[in-house]
Structure 1
Amino acid sequence: MPRARVAALSRYLLRGQLSARGCLRSRAHTLSLVKRDPSQLIFSSSHVRLLHAEPASEGRDATPPAPIPMGKRLKEESKKRKALGKQKNKGNQVIDGWELTVGIEIHAQLNTAKKLFSPAATSFNDEPNTHVAYFDLAIPGSQPVFQKETLIPALRAALALNCSIENVSRFDRKHYFHWDQPSGYQITQYYEPFAKDGRINLLQRDGIAKEDGEGISVGIKQIQMEQDTAKTLAQPGGVYWIDFNRVGVPLIEIITLPEIHHPATAAALVRKVQLLLNAADACVSGMEAGGLRADVNVSVRRSDDPSGPLGQRTEIKNLSSFKAIEDAIIAERDRQISVLESGGIVESETRGWSIGATETRRLRGKEGEVDYRYMPDPDLAPVIIGGDLVDYLRQNMGMSPDAEIDELTQRFDLTPKDASSLVALDGGKRVEYFWNVVGSLADRFGPDSNTPKYLPGFQLAANWILHELGRLTSGRSEAAGQDLGFMENGECRRVPFIHLTDILYYLYERKITAKIAKELLWAVFRRKIPDKYPTITAAADQENLWFKELHADEYRKLALAIVRQDEVMAHFVNYKQYPQGKLMFLVGRMIRLGPEEFIDPKEAERVMKIVLEEKRAVAASNSG
């Protein structure tokens, strides 16, 4: 009988966890330790280790440390894992001697009122099985009827992804049998999709791997329309409930070419696709709400033969977050390399991924074209798309996200990160809100608003819209999780842009302090403005919130009171680099000592620096 390789056995024994390096010998060694002196052994789930008894030291405190609360410990461990994961992924984009290749299939739910082949309404959180037509349940005798309005968002998505639109496309049946597919097949466009040959351009600001340089272009093979399956709801005791509201909901499947070679770039591509689809108003929601899912195809080959064929690919199904995409690709890449280095063969299969996992898991063998038995759907006519419709949609696509980010960075000198966040947040509604605030501020600043003098005012608006508004509903806020209510027209239900404009204008003109500005923002959020006070101006008048700055002599008295102690001046004598941090610490003490609502931090910093230099000069003359 031929001897089987350990690498081959490991695929069948102990769920693939059998070590390939002298496992039997190592186990014999550990068992011999048990026979020698069991009292000196510590057993763990992975190894047996011999410990030598250590005598107790005299005077050693035997009192155990105070226990750390479980909640705090879990929170700290979670932070460490997240930090470790980010650092690990950052330096784990390339494995020496190996080349990774990734292709992605993205499923996005179209923004339509009807399903793809029935007049039933699309729904999210309605009661289960309340929006179901006869065809959705595959009732005998029911026929599919293509709903023409579902084509419009699909075309907008294809144009946003730079695809060419096919004049004629057809639907096919993709057969598979599962409880979430009542008819036993899914209707899709496998052979003749409606869009082909697209391209997505990714830049550094999109979050690609540094190994991809300034940017990378990834091709799109095709985009096809297809119907979604039912939703499975797991219940205790191995029971599954089926919600058929989702059956027949229109999807597009975006299939990229295998031109991605780094995990971070794969995640960046899906993030960019979501941004483009939102900008085109083609899809209902993104990954965070379940409206977009990704399957990734992963293969590896040795990098010393780049002209050789790609390695055997595996598919990882239903990845639901950008981090999951990057983590799953890294785990599957490392698994395939380990299999090949141990002499094994990578199998064509479908694998799964769980949040927080460290490795992918096998789900089933990979189906192919033969398994699905693709065939033209005899009940559906070809879809004919007129060139005039495509031209009209192309002319009315609006500004692309990349163009808008470029304008924000060039016109307002925003960082690419802040500009990208403005465009991406709330499906593009937050950047519309920003433009409303900027336009209103420009009216307040007057005819000279385009001069560099007022640029900090517009940058202040971007900072508040990104960060201060976010703090209103952050985890530490009393209103955590609430919706700010951004709308398509650039308005916000909880903080109307006219009120934020007033706050920012008065703050920029130094008529109120930053602290007062934040309190006024909370008053708007809690609807005290306009319920109790009609306007920001009225609130400041009635509550006496206007900034009345201290006189120069009063600033100086506060600064002298802070630096009176000799130990304070020790940091500002004979320094090699000016201690700016120490200076700002003193300014903070100065503000707390005085009437904060009447102190301008910049003026306090200027006066404090003057007083310190005077003290320093006196100390230098005395020592000389």
Structure 2
Amino acid sequence: MVRLCGLRLRLALAPLVSAPVTGRAWSRTAPLRFLSTQTQSSSIRPEYVPLRKQLKDEARAKRRDKGRDKGRDKSQVEGWELTVGIEVHAQLDTDVKLFSRASAGHEDAPNANVALFDLAFPGSQPWFQAATLIPALRAAIAFGCEIQSVSHFDRKHYFYQDQPAGYQITQYYEPYARSGALYLYPHDGIAAEDGESVRVGIKQIQMEQDTAKSQELPSHAVLLDFNRVSRPLIEIITLPEIHSPATAAACVRKIQSILQSCGAVNTGMEMGGLRADVNVSVRRTGDVAGAHGYEGISGLGQRTEIKNLSSFKAVEDAIIAERDRQIAVLDAGGKIEGETRGWTIGSTETRKLREKEGSVDYRYMPDPDIAPVIVGRDLVEALRASMPPAPDEMLKTLMQEYSLTMEDSKPLVELDDCARLEYYQDAVDALISMQDTSTGTSEPGRSIGNWVLHELGGLFSKSDSPWDAQRVPAASLAAIVHLLTTGKITGSTAKSLLATIFDGDDQGRTVQEIVEQEGLTLRPLSREEYVAMAQEVMAKHPQMVAQIQQGQQGKIGFFVGQIKRMGEKGRVEAQRAEQAIRSLLSL
């Protein structure tokens, strides 16, 4: 039984249609031209598809399988060569659907944004929305693709409950972009055996419409939400040039990062805005005589496809499982069948879904109702000139201009759809504006980076809440760091201030007002006071003193903590306490 969530399956659907299609059918002889830069895409509210449970399940499965996977080679199997090609489906950042004027909003009630064409009502016609083309072009430019001046839409036929027309509109024969590439490096997480870099070719990028969202119920009923039908997607198809599971996961992660940085999408895998299919094949090392299954490519093993992977870890784990399955089949004298397979979080094996369809099975044909799309070079060049920095360029900038390490730069670029990076830059600017040449820290970028990633990031992790730049305004964080670096407050006081603002100050006070009203300004202790407290705590723990004198200097931190507890709150400086301890120990 199939039901429409919130939508009665009757002919009286018109009152619930958000924006009926008013356009006429397009003729192939009347092409759509986009020759100016006036068309702009706009943001849409991100669809929140909670993956917190999924991530927890993955972590639980990883712990459960830790012993079983110990000693298992996850990158290569001796005597065998793995080959992987990837297809990434990403939702474009637009307010409208691809072929109707219904909203592409993500947070509305099920079936609230449905046009007649989305439901394939007889007589309804597609109306290509120009706004969807702009973010698609940005993606193609970001991957260095050759943008085609003329592209066409085709019908991909298959019957399933989430596809009311019986076909999906895509670009199979003449996509809008071809022949791109992306480059992966060790900081992207590629396998060690792949060396210093990996180039992954992109065969093509094509625009296509999304399908309905289905939800299976225990009673064997399926609920369908047609809000998602015809939301604009791009499909990025890589060449089969990846040879390790870790590098495949790194490739998907890099694709998401590039798409977010160029403004093509506004959600990633963690929000359900990006999905990946992987094509996996194996062959014995040096064997080039096997079947292939990759269109236009010979010499590879028969491939299978794993559909709808929704996390980077799932990409890596599914490839490992499918590689091992294929090797076991071939070792036993069997034959790999071309088929579509599925993957469940926490599983150790892929499962067969159906026989693999080919282009003949889908009966591709040009869509007679949609005109060719003609893109002018002036539009492409204008978009190219306005492209923001690529992720690798941003990493370089953070390391060179902000004095951050690669380990700190990567999270800023990758986390929270770049929202944390924008917050970081705002906080650095605010800190610089507060400083003067006599009291300012020489590395404001590094100082702010530590607090954004570690202290503030830790508070968000403990509260189990998503990133929110308004929780602690960038100017407030900068004020805390400024007071700390100029010696006005101690590190412990700074952390306490941050926690107070994070939890919400009842009186809505500024950082400076909290410090003044609660007497948190540092009143420095004398060296003699530090030495006296150090002598007292060392006298209580003579055995630990002996251990430090024998070389276990890591235990000095214990004494620093004891001195901080002894001293008046907000007055003990950890660095000066450590200096006193070291002087008494002659270190």
- Note the 1:136-175 alignment, pairs <5 A: 136-175=118-157
CA offset at residue 523 of structure 1? 2.6
Query: Equivalent residue for 1:461?
Result: 448
Structure-1 separation of matches of 2:184 and 2:58 = 35
For 2:445, the aligned partner's letter is F
User: What's the % identity of the aligned pairs?
Assistant: 52
- Note the 1:605-624 alignment, pairs <5 A: 605-613=578-586
CA offset at residue 130 of structure 1? 1.3
For 1:401, the aligned partner's letter is P
- TM-score normalised over the length of structure 1: 0.80
Query: Equivalent residue for 1:311?
Result: 301
Structure-2 separation of matches of 1:212 and 1:448 = 49
Q: Is the contact between residue 563 and residue 612 of structure 1 (CA under 8 Å) also seen in structure 2? A: no
Query: Equivalent residue for 2:42?
Result: none
- Note the 1:205-284 alignment, pairs <5 A: 205-284=187-266
CA offset at residue 464 of structure 1? 1.0
Per-residue CA deviations over 1:487-511 (Å, capped at 9, x if unaligned) read xxxxx32211111111001111221
CA offset at residue 550 of structure 1? 1.0
Cα 1:384–1:495 change in 2 (3 A) is same
Query: Equivalent residue for 2:519?
Result: 544
Secondary structure of 1:597's match?
Answer: coil
Cα 1:100–1:76 change in 2 (3 A) is closer
Of 351-360 and 155-164, the range deviating more from structure 2: 155-164
Q: Are 2:549 and 1:581 equivalent residues in the alignment? A: no
Q: Is the contact between residue 199 and residue 218 of structure 1 (CA under 8 Å) also seen in structure 2? A: yes
Cα 1:360–1:449 change in 2 (3 A) is farther
Structure-2 separation of matches of 1:82 and 1:418 = 30
Per-residue CA deviations over 1:472-494 (Å, capped at 9, x if unaligned) read 332x33xx32x443xxxxxx322
Secondary structure of 2:570's match?
Answer: helix
Q: For 1:200, which of 156, 159, 182 is the aligned residue?
A: 182
Cα 1:448–1:442 change in 2 (3 A) is farther
Secondary structure of 1:232's match?
Answer: strand
Q: Are 2:336 and 1:361 equivalent residues in the alignment? A: no
Cα 1:292–1:238 change in 2 (3 A) is same
Q: For 1:522, which of 499, 505, 508 is the aligned residue?
A: 499
Structure-2 separation of matches of 1:209 and 1:463 = 28
For 1:334, the aligned partner's letter is D
CA offset at residue 562 of structure 1? 1.6
CA offset at residue 299 of structure 1? 0.2
Structure-2 separation of matches of 1:79 and 1:99 = 25
Cα 1:611–1:447 change in 2 (3 A) is closer
CA offset at residue 471 of structure 1? 2.5
Query: Equivalent residue for 1:80?
Result: 63
CA offset at residue 244 of structure 1? 0.9
For 1:602, the aligned partner's letter is Q
Cα 1:589–1:82 change in 2 (3 A) is farther
Q: Is the contact between residue 563 and residue 572 of structure 2 (CA under 8 Å) also seen in structure 1? A: no
- Note the 1:314-353 alignment, pairs <5 A: 314-353=304-343
Q: Is the contact between residue 148 and residue 175 of structure 2 (CA under 8 Å) also seen in structure 1? A: yes
Cα 1:338–1:435 change in 2 (3 A) is same
CA offset at residue 443 of structure 1? 2.3
Q: Are 2:433 and 1:443 equivalent residues in the alignment? A: yes
Secondary structure of 1:226's match?
Answer: strand
Q: For 1:133, which of 115, 135, 160 is the aligned residue?
A: 115
Secondary structure of 1:299's match?
Answer: strand
Per-residue CA deviations over 1:192-248 (Å, capped at 9, x if unaligned) read 000010100111111111111111110000000000111111122101111111111
Between structure 1 and structure 2, the one with the greater Rg is 1
Cα 1:194–1:532 change in 2 (3 A) is closer
Query: Equivalent residue for 1:54?
Result: none
Of 207-216 and 435-444, the range deviating more from structure 2: 435-444
Secondary structure of 1:564's match?
Answer: helix
For 1:607, the aligned partner's letter is A
Structure-1 separation of matches of 2:318 and 2:523 = 57
Q: Is the contact between residue 100 and residue 301 of structure 1 (CA under 8 Å) also seen in structure 2? A: yes
Q: Is the contact between residue 484 and residue 495 of structure 1 (CA under 8 Å) also seen in structure 2? A: no
- Note the 1:416-435 alignment, pairs <5 A: 416-435=406-425
Query: Equivalent residue for 1:554?
Result: 529
Structure-2 separation of matches of 1:277 and 1:77 = 30
Q: Which runs of no fewer than 5 residues in structure 2 stay unpaired?
A: 1-56, 291-298
For 2:516, the aligned partner's letter is D
CA offset at residue 596 of structure 1? 4.2
Structure-2 separation of matches of 1:408 and 1:445 = 20
Query: Equivalent residue for 1:399?
Result: 389
Query: Equivalent residue for 1:32?
Result: none
Structure-2 separation of matches of 1:528 and 1:569 = 42
Task: Select the structure that is richer in helix.
Answer: 1
Structure-1 separation of matches of 2:58 and 2:147 = 50
Secondary structure of 1:442's match?
Answer: helix
Query: Equivalent residue for 2:376?
Result: 386
CA offset at residue 124 of structure 1? 1.7
Cα 1:273–1:84 change in 2 (3 A) is farther
For 2:459, the aligned partner's letter is L
Per-residue CA deviations over 1:497-542 (Å, capped at 9, x if unaligned) read 111111001111221112211221223223428x442x21121111
Structure-2 separation of matches of 1:553 and 1:441 = 34
Q: For 1:109, which of 63, 68, 91 is the aligned residue?
A: 91
Secondary structure of 1:473's match?
Answer: helix
Q: Is the contact between residue 494 and residue 524 of structure 1 (CA under 8 Å) also seen in structure 2? A: yes
CA RMSD of aligned residues (A): 2.1
Per-residue CA deviations over 1:535-557 (Å, capped at 9, x if unaligned) read 21121111100111211111010
Higher relative contact order structure (alpha carbons within 8 Å, sequence separation ≥ 6): 2
Structure-1 separation of matches of 2:516 and 2:467 = 27
Q: Which runs of no fewer than 5 residues in structure 1 stay unpaired?
A: 1-73, 486-491, 615-624
Of 96-105 and 540-549, the range deviating more from structure 2: 540-549
For 1:317, the aligned partner's letter is K
For 2:190, the aligned partner's letter is I
CA offset at residue 449 of structure 1? 9.2
Cα 1:84–1:415 change in 2 (3 A) is farther
CA offset at residue 77 of structure 1? 6.7
Structure-2 separation of matches of 1:228 and 1:194 = 17
Query: Equivalent residue for 1:591?
Result: 564
| Aligned residue-pair number | 522
Cα 1:225–1:532 change in 2 (3 A) is closer
Q: Is the contact between residue 159 and residue 167 of structure 2 (CA under 8 Å) also seen in structure 1? A: yes
Q: For 1:188, which of 133, 146, 170 is the aligned residue?
A: 170
Query: Equivalent residue for 1:571?
Result: 547
Q: Is the contact between residue 484 and residue 493 of structure 1 (CA under 8 Å) also seen in structure 2? A: no
Secondary structure of 2:199's match?
Answer: strand
For 2:63, the aligned partner's letter is K
For 2:120, the aligned partner's letter is A
Cα 1:337–1:252 change in 2 (3 A) is same
